[in-house]
C-alpha cells in the first residue's frame, strides 16, 4: 500500500558516543576507534558486532525509550527545527510539539517517514538537511542515542516520493516487462544510492505482491508481474540492489502475506482474499520467500483478511497465525516486520485505534507505522507492558531486531550525510542516462495489425494526442514535437462524455494520426467509447495504455496498441521513441491480459510482445 524503494560522501561517527563525526569514512573492513566494525566489514563479523552493540544499547534504555523505537511516524516541515506557522500548527495538533526535533525527543522515535504533503521533500539538499537535523535530535548532545530509520515509499513509476531532480526510474511492472532481474537490481541500486545521499536509509520497496487480479485498485503497476516466479526473481533482485554497496538502504518487501488478488483498496476498507493455504504457497509466498533468501532487512504487513490462513477474521497485520505462524515460522524470517500505515481503514474496522498497536505487537510485528493517534498509541503500549498484557521481554525482542538492523545497515556508524555532496550524488547524468536506457527496454508493442508503427513520413507531421490525463496528453505532444514531429493535444476528460467524444472526433479530422492515451478504462467507459468512435470515423488510431496493460480488453478492436506501464518522464520518452521508430519496442507483457467479456479467456498472454514488421 502507499503508506503513507548513497554512494560516498557520507559523514561517519566512529561510535555512538563520539562527539563529532570524522570527515572521511574508514577504509573497507577497518575497525573504528571505539572498536566497532565498519559497515564494509565481512558480513559475519558485521552481524556479530551488530548483535553485541544492540545488547549493550538495550541495557541502557528505559522502557519509554524502547517503546519509542517501535514507532515510525511523519512530522511536518522542511527542517527539523521548522518555524513555519502552518507546519508548527499542524505538528501541535498532531503530536503536541512544534517541530520534528521535538517529536523525536519527546517520543524517543525509532523512525520517521517523509512525504511531500508533510512538507518534507522540497528538493534534495533540503531533504539532506532535514535528515541530519532529525538524526542529531535522535543522537542527542552526547551522540549516545540511537539513530533513526528515515523512510519513504520510493517505488518509482507512479509512486515516487523523491521527485525531480532525483532520478525517476521505471516502476515495478515496467521492469517486469523487461523480464530481466539485472535491470531490476540496477534500478534499485541507483535509487538506493540517491536515497542514502539525502539521508533516507529505509525504502518501503520492493512491492512483492503478485498482481493476479486485473481489477486490483491499489497494486496494479506497483507489482512486477502476475507470475509468481518473475515477481520473485525481480523482488529478490531489487532487495540485493537496495542493500548492496556503501550507499545501501534498508529494503522492505511488501505487503505480506500478499495483496495481489484484491478488488478493494485497504486504504478505505478491509479486503478479503480467499486463497487456500496451498494456493497461498504457490501464488503469494514465492516473492517473499525469495526476498528472505536475498537477505531482505524488513517486510511490511498488509491490512487484508485471509480467512483460509486465519479464520478469526483479523487483518493480517494483527494475525499471529499469519505474522508469526507463516512469516516467522514457516518462512523462517527473523528480521524487522513493519506494519502498513495504521491510519488505513483496513486495520481500523475491527478494533479501536488504541488496541491496534498492542495487537500488532502480539501478532509478531516490530515497527508500528503512522498510528492515527501517536500519543495514544505510545501510551497504550506502555500501559500494556505495565499491566502485563505485553511483557518487557516481548518489547525487547522487537527493539533488539531494530537496533541490529540499524547497526548492520551502517546507520549507527553513518547517521549523517554531507549536504554539499548531494548534487554530485542525486540526479547525476550517469543515473539519468541509465534510467532512460532501462526504460527503453520496457515499452511493449501489443498490437500493430494496421502496420501504423513506426510513424514516418506524413504520419508524423499531423499528430493529435488525446485521451486520458490533461498533463499526460500535453507531455506526450511536447515530447513528440521535441523529436521533430508536428503534434497537438486535446484533453476530453478522463471519462469523456458523449459530447466530449464527439468534439474530439471533429478535432481529429484535421490530423492524420491520433494517439489516444488510456488509463483504467474498465472504470472509465468513456475512454473506450472515445477509441471506438475515432476508429468508426476512419481515423488512424494508436492507443497507448499509460497505466496497467489491461485497458485494451475494453476496446478489443483497436488495431495498434502500446503499453508503457507509467506516464513518468522516462516512460513517455521511451514511448515517443518507439512511436517514431527511433528505438524498437523491446518489452514483453509481465501479465496476462484477459478478455473483458470472459475473464477466464486470455486475450494476450504473459510474455507477449511484438517487434516491427515492415
Orientation angle between helical segments 285-293 and 228-242, nearest 10 degrees: 30
Using alpha carbons, select from 287, 369, 274 the residue that is nearest to residue 333. Answer: 287
Cell triple for 154: 520510493
Residue 251 and residue 206 in contact, taking contact as beta carbons nearer than 8 Å: yes
Q: Pick the catalytic residue: 267, 353, 373, 478?
A: 267
How many other C-beta atoms are found inside a 10 Å radius of the C-beta of residue 436?
A: 18
DSSP reduced 3-state for 112: strand
CA distance 74 to 22: 30
Residue 340 annotated in active site: yes
CA distance 553 to 596: 5
Q: CA 13 → CA 198, 280, 360, 400, 496, distances in Å?
A: 17, 44, 34, 21, 58
Cell triple for 174: 515496467
What lies within 8 Å, CB to CB, of 220 at 6+ separation is 173, 211, 547, 548
Helix ranges (DSSP H) in 280-415: 285-293, 320, 356-363, 374-387, 392-408
Residue 267 annotated in active site: yes
Q: Pick the catalytic residue: 153, 340, 418, 440?
A: 340
Instruction: Give the side-chain half-sphere CA count within 13 A for 522.
Output: 19
Pairing state of beta strands 463-467 and 202-203?
A: unpaired
Residue 55 and residue 400 in contact, taking contact as beta carbons nearer than 8 Å: yes
Residue 236 and residue 456 in contact, taking contact as beta carbons nearer than 8 Å: no
What lies within 8 Å, CB to CB, of 545 at 6+ separation is 517, 518, 519, 521, 551, 552, 561, 562, 563, 564, 565
Q: Catalytic residues, which ones?
A: 267, 340
Amino acid at each position: 500500500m502507499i503508506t503513507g524503494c548513497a554512494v560516498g560522501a557520507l559523514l561517519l561517527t566512529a561510535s555512538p558516543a563520539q562527539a563529532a563525526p570524522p570527515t572521511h569514512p574508514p577504509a573497507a573492513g577497518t575497525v573504528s576507534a571505539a572498536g566497532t566494525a565498519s559497515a564494509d566489514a565481512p558480513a559475519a563479523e558485521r552481524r556479530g558486532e551488530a548483535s553485541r552493540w544492540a545488547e549493550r544499547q538495550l541495557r541502557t534504555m528505559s522502557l519509554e525509550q524502547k517503546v519509542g523505537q517501535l514507532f515510525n511516524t511523519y512530522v511536518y516541515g522542511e527542517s527539523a527545527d521548522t518555524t513555519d506557522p502552518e507546519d508548527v500548527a499542524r505538528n501541535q495538533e498532531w503530536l503536541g510539539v512544534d517541530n520534528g526535533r521535538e517529536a523525536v525527543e519527546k517520543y524517543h522515535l525509532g523512525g520517521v517517514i517523509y512525504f511531500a504533503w508533510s512538507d518534507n521533500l522540497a528538493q534534495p539538499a533540503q531533504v539532506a538537511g532535514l535528515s541530519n537535523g532529525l538524526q542529531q535530535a535522535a543522537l542527542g548532545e552526547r551522540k549516545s542515542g540511537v539513530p533513526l530509520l528515515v523512510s519513504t515509499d520510493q517505488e518509482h513509476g507512479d509512486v515516487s516520493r523523491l521527485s525531480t531532480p532525483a532520478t525517476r526510474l521505471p516502476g515495478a511492472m515496467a521492469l517486469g516487462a523487461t523480464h530481466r532481474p539485472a535491470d531490476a537490481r540496477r534500478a534499485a541500486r541507483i535509487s538506493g544510492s540517491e536515497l542514502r545521499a539525502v539521508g533516507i536509509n529505509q525504502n518501503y520497496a520492493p512491492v512483492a505482491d503478485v498482481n493476479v487480479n486485473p481489477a486490483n485498485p491499489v497494486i496494479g503497476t506497483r507489482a512486477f508481474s502476475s507470475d509468481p516466479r518473475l515477481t520473485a526473481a525481480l523482488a529478490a533482485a531489487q532487495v540485493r540492489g537496495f542493500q548492496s554497496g556503501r550507499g545501501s538502504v534498508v529494503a522492505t518487501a511488501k505487503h505480506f502475506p500478499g495483496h495481489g488478488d484484491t478488488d478493494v483498496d485497504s486504504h478505505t476498507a478491509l479486503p478479503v482474499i480467499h486463497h487456500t493455504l496451498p494456493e497461498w504457497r504457490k501464488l503469494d509466498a514465492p516473492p517473499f520467500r525469495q526476498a528472505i533468501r536475498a537477505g531482505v532487512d524488513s517486510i511490511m504487513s498488509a491490512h487484508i483478511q485471509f480467512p483460509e490462513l486465519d479464520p478469526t477474521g483479523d487483518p493480517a497485520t494483527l494475525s499471529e497465525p499469519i505474522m508469526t505462524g507463516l512469516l516467522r515460522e514457516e518462512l523462517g524470517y527473523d528480521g524487522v516486520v513493519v506494519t502498513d500505515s495504521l491510519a488505513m481503514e483496513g486495520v481500523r474496522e475491527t478494533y479501536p485505534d488504541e488496541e491496534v498497536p498492542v495487537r500488532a505487537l502480539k501478532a509478531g510485528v516490530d515497527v508500528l507505522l503512522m498510528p492515527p493517534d501517536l500519543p495514544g498509541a505510545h501510551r497504550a503500549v506502555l500501559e500494556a507492558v505495565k499491566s502485563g498484557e505485553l511483557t518487557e521481554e516481548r518489547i525487547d525482542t522487537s527493539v533488539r531486531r531494530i537496533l541490529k538492523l540499524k547497526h548492520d545497515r551502517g546507520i549507527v556508524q553513518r547517521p549523517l550525510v554531507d549536504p554539499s555532496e548531494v548534487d554530485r550524488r542525486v540526479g547525476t547524468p550517469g543515473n539519468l542516462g541509465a534510467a532512460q536506457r532501462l526504460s527503453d527496454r520496457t515499452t511493449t508493442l501489443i498490437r500493430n495489425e494496421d502496420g501504423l508503427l513506426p510513424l514516418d513520413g506524413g504520419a508524423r507531421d499531423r499528430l493529435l494526442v488525446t485521451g486520458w490525463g490533461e498533463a499526460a496528453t500535453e507531455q506526450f505532444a511536447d515530447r513528440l514535437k521535441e523529436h521533430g514531429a508536428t503534434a497537438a493535444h486535446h484533453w476530453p476528460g478522463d471519462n469523456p462524455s458523449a459530447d466530449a467524444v464527439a468534439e474530439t472526433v471533429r478535432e481529429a479530422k484535421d490530423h492524420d494520426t491520433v494517439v489516444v492515451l488510456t488509463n483504467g478504462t474498465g472504470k472509465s467507459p468513456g475512454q473506450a467509447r472515445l477509441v471506438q468512435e475515432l476508429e468508426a470515423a476512419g481515423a488512424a488510431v494508436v492507443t497507448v495504455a499509460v497505466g496497467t496493460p489491461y485497458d485494451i480488453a475494453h476496446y478489443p478492436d483497436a488495431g495498434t496498441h502500446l503499453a508503457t506501464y507509467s506516464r513518468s518522464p522516462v516512460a513517455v520518452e521511451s514511448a515517443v521513441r518507439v512511436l517514431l521508430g527511433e528505438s524498437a519496442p523491446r518489452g514483453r507483457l509481465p501479465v496476462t491480459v484477459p478478455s473483458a467479456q470472459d475473464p477466464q479467456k486470455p486475450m494476450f498472454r504473459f510474455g507477449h510482445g511484438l517487434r516491427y514488421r515492415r
